[in-house]
Structure 1
């Protein structure tokens, strides 16, 4: 029997100040009880002294001394197949278009083994940071040949299988923006049959975006799968496909099953028009994802001043009631040369870019990397509640401000029956 017993834990998704005692048996939470005060147990173990495997400490209380416990982070938009390619693919101008152009030049040179290895590396880094579930968009470069397109698919499916005990992964197929032949659409369906979960793409770079969106919906409806799109990832306020996406979603009765990522041009248009679009998004029950790292890096490159930063209207989306998440996007590739899959860092970037710093706003940021993206991904029984699976991260902080200021250099990550990653006085240890 596997047991976990935590004392003196803070659960900021419930409240910031109170302490809790948490118990789990065989990978399921059985008790979440509020404490009246800080408690001390002679047999307890300080969290910093925990060992990776925990066998000889099984069931003994782990004293968190007031540290924050969050349900494992959920990264709702990444590009695992592109991760760690910055040494192979340069982007001198720092623009989205050069990133796409240069990446396409070398895409055929990546072997299945290369792609699988990089996906696994990116996932393991994210898990160490506290992530327990990921949705990754996958390139499907059919214009370079079917074998090259499926090379990424098979590598990604293989990586998911090898990592299934430590993380949940959903894959979005990025349908190419051109050469939409009957053979390509057949290949798209074959990829879905092979194990792809969601259909996606970038309508704003397609010549006939409405027709393209219609085709995506046809396949989504046929296979009863969600849709997750790169949407209006541009500075130009005249690039606007989100309205048609909302209308199509309502027409197809697909409310609650469509996600729009980026939404950069939403912040480039006048407020009155933006509010009209947001209200229609709400009616369509669209979900939204902001990607602060990549958008801050890529957008506004041609502006001489004032420089547009590309971040969508985060506050307006949240206040409207639209499910809005923060995600990591690209990791050390030509689209974003930095990053390590740390959602706390993505939350901090959002705080700066969207001017979010009040207590309520910091609480919203925590929800945007936990419960909100969990809902977008359709994760059932998510969170620290009796009867739910045990998947959490302990952060070395006691308040919202401390958490986002220091980004918790020490983290302890637990999933189901084991500590996946622990921080100790003499270094980091773990089972991954």
Structure 2
């Protein structure tokens, strides 16, 4: 028997005993009986063999000469799935500061840097740095929005392609086009973007702000996506202005076009400031249409309601409890990392989860919410990940925490990340690696 806090056997066949798995993330065979505690954690033994979960059994029932790690009721999660990131912008903050630290300042800071500094090498090195961070933290898949509305729309896509290939087997990467809705007014450009996204096996994206031609442009986006079999992901209502209701135009377009593909809507900040009845109506429609929602709490807390010299009054985080109450597929993701839109972050979804639980009051009860950073975003991406099941890859995270209050109380920097049944041998990269790209501190 080995120490359940740190050691992982070197052999390919072993048992993770007395593991406390969030029930919402455990797909155990119906033929076995497992006990779930009031915290929403299920105790079980996980048999690992040849990099996969060979069996799930009641605690203490696995016999034989296998090496055993006794978790003593400590938590075990599947790998994390980050539905909304921006790898091509990551880590440019030192050379592209946002002096006002607000949304307008971020919009102004990025284009000059993109035009003058985003070489293939620059983008790829920053992407790889960010992915190494995500990997150490336990992420197995992510979607990254790529700046596409520029003189060279394919720049970030070309840069990502070899990086994506290199990371196969460690992190599944799904690119999405980041395109202002007004750019879809050019029919030839819109077709070009949709064809490019399809060629890269990506997701068609939109920054969906209020536009006088929104109805026609949204219909065009969804039609382009439908013809090419693409999923759609939109940035929408990233503001605290309650009069901004682009989400409703999107839902109208989905109904009008009959679009049946996956749709993800990110941010939805203005839902938090709209009149309750009005917001509830929109949220019910989101759920009815099967649209996934992604909340970006760290970035929205950073940008929204920022006024120099005044403490924020409104925080801009979407009403997650109400969305979930309507039955919407709600996810939580990282968004930007060390760039003008968010000065901090490390692509650590556990940090994001802990923050979301505390600021969003997701703790009464907490047991459904681990799905928001695992299996629910995996479903939105159309991949099989974020769950523990017989036959699934043994991509796991071992935490020292036993209860959820212990998980939320500390950063869990002592977590052990297991990939294909083996503990990874990797450390967080040193920020100094990027000094020649972004400048010394």
TM-score interval, normalised by the smaller of the two chains: 0.7 to 0.9
- Greater mean deviation of Cα atoms: 402-411 or 379-388: 379-388
1:97 aligned counterpart, secondary structure: helix
**Residues 39-84 of structure 1, C-alpha deviation per residue, up to 9 Å, x if partnerless?**
999x8xxxxxxxxxxxxxxx62233333210011111111111111
- 1:183: how far off? 4.3
CA distance in 1, matches of 2:300, 2:197: 29
Counterpart pick for 1:171 among 165, 170, 175: 175
Q: Secondary structure at the match of 2:146?
A: strand
Match of 2:31? none
SS of equivalent residue, structure 1 residue 324: strand
Residues of 1 paired with 2:15 and 2:356: CA distance?
34
| Structure 2 residue matching 1:220: 3-state secondary structure | helix
User: Aligned match of 2:276 in 271, 274, 278?
Assistant: 271
Which residue of 1 is the match for residue 72 of structure 2?
65
The match for 2:297 is 292
Q: Which has the larger displacement, 7-16 or 76-85?
A: 7-16
- Post-superposition Cα deviations, 1:289-334, rounded to whole Å, max 9, x if no partner, equal 1100000110112496872211111110011110000101111111
With normalisation by structure 2, the TM-score equals 0.85
Choose which of 350, 360, 363 in structure 2 pairs with 1:354: 360
- Residue of 69, 75, 78 corresponding to 2:82: 75
Map 1:13-24 → 2, pairs under 5 A: 13=23, 15=36, 16=40, 18-24=42-48
Q: Which residue of 1 aligns with 2:21?
A: 11
Query: Deviation of residue 221 (structure 1)?
Result: 0.6
Asked if structure 1 preserves the Cα contact closer than 8 Å seen for 2:232 and 2:261, the reply is no
Q: CA deviation at 1:95?
A: 1.1
Q: Which of 384, 392, 395 is the aligned partner of 1:391?
A: 395
User: Does residue 262 in structure 1 map to residue 286 in structure 2?
Assistant: no
Q: What SS does the corresponding residue of 2:280 show, helix, strand or coil?
A: helix
Contact 1:411 1:422 in 2 (8 A): no
1:96 deviates by: 1.1
Residue 279 of structure 1 aligns to a residue whose secondary structure is helix
Structure 2 match to 1:51? none
Partner of 1:233: 238
Determine if contact 1:10/1:67 at 8 Å carries over to the other structure: yes
Structure-2 residue corresponding to 1:46? none
Tell me which residue corresponds to 1:27.
51
Offset at residue 384 of structure 1 (A): 1.0
Residue matched to 1:429: none
Partner of 1:158: 162
* Shift in alpha-carbon separation, 1:301–1:12, aligned structure 2, 3 A: same
Pick from 116, 140, 145 the counterpart of residue 132 of structure 1.
140
Separation in structure 2 between the aligned mates of residue 367 and residue 302 of structure 1, nearest angstrom = 34
Q: CA deviation at 1:382?
A: 4.6
User: What do residues 64-111 of structure 1 show as CA deviations (whole Å, max 9, x unaligned)?
Assistant: 333210011111111111111111111111111210111011102211
Alignment of 1:5-404 (within 5 A): 5-13=15-23, 15=36, 16=40, 18-35=42-59, 60-108=67-115, 109-142=117-150, 145-146=151-152, 149-179=153-183, 180-204=185-209, 206=211, 208-255=213-260, 257-302=262-307, 307-358=313-364, 360=365, 362-380=366-384, 382-404=386-408
Q: Secondary structure at the match of 1:295?
A: helix
Alpha-carbon distance, 1:207 to partner: 5.1
Shift of the 256–318 alpha-carbon distance from structure 1 to 2, 3 Å rule, reads farther
Between Structure 1 and Structure 2, how many residues are aligned? 400
Kindly provide the CA deviation profile for residues 366-402 of structure 1, in whole angstroms up to 9, marking residues without a partner as x.
Answer: 1211122122222236511112222111112111010
Report the TM-score when normalising by structure 1: 0.86
Cα deviation, residue 178, structure 1 = 4.2
SS at match of 1:248: helix
Structure 2: stretches of 5+ with no match in the other structure: 1-10, 27-35, 428-441
- Corresponding residue SS for 1:11: strand
Supply the distance in 2 between the matched residues of 1:420 and 1:206 (Cα, whole angstroms). Answer: 48
**Worse overlay, 306-315 or 172-181:** 172-181
